[in-house]
Amino acid sequence: MPDKPVKILNIEQIKKLLAQIDRNVAKGAMYYVVLVFLLDTGLRISELINIKLADMDLMQGFVQVMGKGQKVRTVPFSKLTRKELLHYVNSFRSQLCPADSPYLFATSKGPNISVNSVQQFLRRLAKKTGLNGIRVSPHSFRHTFATMAVAGGANVFTLKDIMGHRSLQTTMGYIKQQPEEIQLQHAAFSPVAKLFGSKSNK
């Protein structure tokens, strides 16, 4: 069966989505962090909503995640994501849930936010942003993370461990290089460019 093409988000689309979120209100701050965290870690949405405060190491920039098959793995996140997490936890989390709630993304109506709530928020956000015809979902953020990570120089073996895949083949299925990236890579290794490059420069 042919591969089903996976459309990832580009930088401009992500910026537009994030710009529409009001980070100065509790729910806005929470969902802003949810999106930044998805983009920075490539977590499955089921993994993200079940993160507990005790799973976080904000000083070192790591989170312990319970993945498929009840396997625990350590996933890193950037300093910028840490900054957004602290902004949310210190300023807004207490407005959304009881102080003794163990979950990072908790609500007053339940122990933690649901997969459906994140999906609905993204659909509304995409419509508000005007990204018509583009699927904006937690899973598209996971694909975007994988593709951008490799484009940025990430090792696919490291990426496999971060994403919690059993096989490298599964990880490769998430990587869909964009035409402009392929063109840049080709220009760097083109045998013809190396063969005639020195002559063409004379």
| DSSP-assigned states of every residue in 120-168 | HHHHHHHHHHT-TT----HHHHHHHHHHHHHHTT--HHHHHHHHT-SSH
| Cβ pair 163, 146 in contact under 8 A | yes
Distance (Å, whole) CA 156 – CA 170: 11
| Cβ pair 33, 89 in contact under 8 A | no
Question: What DSSP designation does 33 have?
Answer: H
Q: Which residues are catalytic?
A: 44, 68, 139, 142, 165, 174
Supply angle C-alpha 35, 31, 128, rounded to 5.
Answer: 85
Distance of CA 154 to the CA centre of its chain: 14
